[in-house]
């Protein structure tokens, strides 16, 4: 009989929720009341969102660890992303936790990503504390939302013990939590007390040797690679001789050069790693997420972290445009490969493969948003590269092609019902449910192929005049639903190099929406606009006005152009077709044809036409 004991001095809790339901704001308040800051210390909002991209977009991209003290107990907090594209982050975070705080907006209620993160939590067998947040909203409906949460638990096959979850009400922004909705709004004491009471301390066997599961990787200029994870059994000390068991089951020797634990947002050196604590070990270079660090004399692997398979792939290549190297300093394929390999080490949901083309790589992940974030991070680091359109990953089942399907939830005004259903039916979407709240807004549920949603989000916002809310959840694979057009418009393609001229652009405006401004460098094969019709046309945006002896060179020069919408990375990725690429540099995002030469493109087009005749 094993002697399992609990480390009561530690609590490991993950905070899970849908996007924008207030996870990071609540953690800020827990810091303030957990004694992390001095009374007079100035701190920014959402301190856990440390990446520039997270602050700009108001979302959490990477899970973060921190710790607060409540009485004589240490509470390790893991702030997880809410977006399904970063599901790998959620899965590895839950491997370190013994309980989870499920945060739900008091007006919006449980949404698709709430279902996604809760499903993972219940599968991991963690104790859940439900917090109904933002109860100060004018449209709050706390009682209805609580009933919806119960329905969600039942729908996800929660057992009787999991259904007995404690409920708290909170206003994260004000740093208050209550056991009952009418209780005085004072502080977060009820939340801290509930965590200590309800979340069990980490259990371990004192007779087992040291075992730690690596759930995250970091890097220090002074210490090299850092392995972050939870200690499951035993203790470790500085300079211990340990081993690392990889995916192939072989144990590699390592020596702990430094042992650290979380103290607030900072790391603090410790002499001993306790069972159940989340620690950071330095002294090992060859380690990946999911490895087990254990004693050298009794190497025994823990169950590896399993994540869902990728559903989307995207081609990353070197920049081959005539403007290569003018704006970025990292242009070589070896540098791009190195950076993608590094991303794969830190992101368990990413796969990187060499493609059949030279200087080109296939990156597989959860969704196009996750891909866009990787590209955006790379361009900010000084990379120049080209990327193709995201493509879904198909599977062969019993000789038939199956494709990934999304469960799509849409919340919009009743007046937009027609345009939304029309657009989604073209994309092979099927409506499964329609709820009219009687307030002028409706909630629709669709089953749509993942490829149908690539590029649809921008169109949806335009169709609903920016008032619609759209969320999706991966629902599995189904037989292929047939082809449909990805875009109903063509491209305006530059037929020569030069600089864009206002006179030429003014004459091109009736043809469609332009992407370039006067003075911008252009080259043959660069896409300078979207054609109104479904075919591509070659144009000359560098064409100047012919001068005659009857007309002065300065006359009629002040043409008025329609302002150009700035090209964002997501918009560019959604816009391009199979024969087009996005050129990404630290300063610019350009669209181009895969084959730059107009003559070569016409030859390929003619050849394809002959083959189909």
60 is in an annotated binding site: no
- 597 and 320 in contact (C-beta within 8 Å)? no
463 is in an annotated binding site: no
As a dihedral over the C-alpha atoms of residue 55, residue 60, residue 66, residue 68, rounded to 10 degrees, the angle is 80
What's the distance, CA 530 to chain centroid?
28
Angle subtended at Cα 210 by Cα 205 and Cα 211, rounded to the nearest 5 degrees: 90
Q: What number of other Cβ atoms are within 10 A of residue 187's Cβ? A: 15
Look up residue 199 and give its two tokens: 């979340």
- 328 and 335 in contact (C-beta within 8 Å)? no
127 is in an annotated binding site: no
pTM: 0.72
311 is in an annotated binding site: no
- 12 and 73 in contact (C-beta within 8 Å)? no
In this prediction, residue 81 carries a pLDDT of 64
Report pLDDT digits (tens) over 61-107. 444 577 788 878 888 888 776 555 555 567 777 778 888 888 888 88
- 332 and 338 in contact (C-beta within 8 Å)? no
593 is in an annotated binding site: no
Please state, in angstroms and as integers, the Cα–Cα distance from residue 534 to each residue in 286, 489, 509, 528, 607, following that order.
51, 4, 16, 15, 20
**Burial tier of 506 (Cβ tally within 10 Å: 0-12, 13-18, 19+):** middle
- 126 and 91 in contact (C-beta within 8 Å)? no
In this prediction, residue 443 carries a pLDDT of 85
610 is in an annotated binding site: no
- All structural domains of the chain: 5-203 (3.40.50.300), 205-295 (2.40.30.10), 312-387 (3.30.70.870), 395-479 (3.30.70.240), 490-612 (2.40.50.250)
In this prediction, residue 111 carries a pLDDT of 75
Q: Return the exposure string of 107-137: e unless at least 16 CB atoms fall within 10 Å of the residue's CB, then b.
A: bbbbbbbbbbbbbbbbeeebbbbbbbbbbee
411 is in an annotated binding site: no
- 191 and 177 in contact (C-beta within 8 Å)? yes
Residue 94 — φ and ψ, nearest 5°? -65, -20
Look up residue 342 and give its two tokens: 């590094």
Residues of the chain with pLDDT below 70 are 1-3, 19-21, 34-64, 81-89, 219-221, 264-265, 306-308, 348, 437-438, 547-558, 612-613
535 is in an annotated binding site: no
Report pLDDT digits (tens) over 176-212. 888 888 888 888 888 888 888 888 888 777 778 888 8
270 is in an annotated binding site: no
- 493 and 538 in contact (C-beta within 8 Å)? yes
Question: Tokens 């009471």 correspond to what residue?
Answer: 197
* Angular region, 406: left φ>0, alpha ψ -120 to 50, beta rest: beta
Residue 404 — φ and ψ, nearest 5°? -70, 140
Residue in 181, 41, 210, 25 with CA at minimum distance from that of residue 103: 25
437 is in an annotated binding site: no
Say how far apart CA 414 and CA 395 lie, in whole Å: 37
In this prediction, residue 386 carries a pLDDT of 92
Q: Return the exposure string of 509-528: e unless at least 16 CB atoms fall within 10 Å of the residue's CB, then b.
A: eebbebbbebebbbbbbbbb
Please list, in sequence order, all residues whose beta carbon lies within 8 angstroms of the beta carbon of residue 353, skipping any fewer than 6 positions away. Answer: 361, 362, 364
Residue in 527, 545, 524 with CA at minimum distance from that of residue 536: 527
């Amino acid at each position: 009989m094993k002697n399992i004991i609990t480390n009561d001095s530690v609590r490991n809790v993950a905070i899970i929720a849908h996007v924008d339901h207030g996870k990071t704001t609540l953690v800020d308040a827990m810091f303030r009341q957990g004694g992390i800051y001095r009374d007079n210390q100035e701190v920014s909002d959402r301190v856990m969102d440390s990446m520039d991209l997270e602050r700009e977009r108001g979302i959490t991209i990477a899970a973060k660890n921190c710790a607060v003290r409540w009485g004589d107990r240490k509470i390790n907090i893991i702030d997880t992303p809410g977006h399904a594209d970063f599901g790998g982050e959620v899965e590895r975070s839950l491997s370190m936790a013994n309980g989870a705080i499920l945060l739900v907006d008091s007006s919006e209620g449980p949404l698709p990503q709430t279902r996604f993160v809760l499903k993972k939590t219940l599968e991991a067998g963690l104790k859940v504390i439900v917090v109904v947040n933002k109860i100060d909203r004018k449209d709050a409906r706390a009682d209805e939302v609580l009933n919806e949460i119960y329905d969600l638990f039942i729908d996800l096959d929660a057992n009787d013990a999991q259904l007995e979850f404690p409920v708290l009400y909170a206003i994260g922004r004000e740093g208050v939590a209550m056991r009952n909705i009418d209780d005085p709004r004072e502080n977060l004491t009820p939340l801290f007390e509930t965590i200590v009471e309800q979340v069990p301390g980490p259990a371990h066997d004192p007779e087992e040797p040291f075992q730690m599961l690596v759930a995250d990787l970091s890097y220090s200029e002074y210490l090299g690679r850092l392995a972050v994870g939870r200690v499951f059994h035993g203790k470790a000390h500085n300079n211990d001789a340990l081993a690392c068991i990889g995916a192939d089951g072989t144990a590699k020797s390592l020596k702990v050069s430094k042992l650290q634990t979380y103290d607030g947002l900072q790391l603090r050196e410790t002499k001993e790693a306790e069972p159940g604590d989340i620690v950071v070990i330095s002294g090992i270079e060859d380690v990946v997420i999911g490895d087990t660090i254990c004693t050298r004399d009794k190497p025994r692997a823990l169950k590896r972290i399993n994540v869902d398979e990728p559903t989307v792939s995207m081609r990353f290549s070197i920049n081959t445009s005539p403007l290569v190297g003018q704006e970025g300093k990292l242009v070589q394929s070896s540098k791009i490969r190195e950076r993608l390999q590094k991303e794969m080490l830190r992101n368990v949901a990413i796969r990187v493969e060499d493609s059949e083309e030279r200087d080109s790589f296939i990156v597989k992940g959860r969704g196009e948003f996750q891909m866009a974030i990787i590209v955006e991070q790379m361009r900010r680091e000084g990379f120049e590269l080209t990327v193709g359109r995201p493509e879904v990953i198909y599977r062969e089942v019993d000789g038939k092609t199956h494709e990934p399907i999304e469960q799509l939830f849409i919340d919009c005004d009743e007046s937009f019902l027609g345009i939304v259903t029309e657009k989604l039916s073209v994309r092979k979407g099927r409506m499964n449910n329609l709820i009219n709240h009687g307030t002028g807004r409706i909630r629709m549920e669709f089953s749509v192929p993942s490829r149908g949603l690539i590029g649809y989000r921008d169109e949806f916002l335009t169709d609903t005049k920016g008032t619609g809310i759209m969320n999706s959840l991966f629902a599995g694979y189904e037989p292929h639903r047939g082809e449909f057009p990805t875009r109903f418009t063509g491209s305006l393609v530059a037929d020569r190099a030069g600089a864009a001229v206002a006179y030429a652009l003014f004459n091109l405006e009736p043809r469609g929406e332009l992407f370039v401004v006067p003075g911008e460098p252009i080259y043959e094969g660069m896409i300078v606009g979207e054609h109104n019709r479904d075919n591509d046309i070659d144009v000359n945006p560098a064409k100047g006005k012919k001068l005659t002896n009857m007309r002065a060179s300065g006359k009629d020069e002040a043409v008025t152009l329609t302002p150009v919408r700035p090209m964002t990375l997501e918009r560019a990725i959604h816009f391009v077709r199979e024969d087009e690429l996005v050129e990404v540099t630290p300063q610019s995002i350009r669209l181009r044809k895969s084959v730059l030469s107009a003559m070569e493109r016409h030859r390929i087009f003619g050849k394809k036409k002959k083959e189909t005749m």
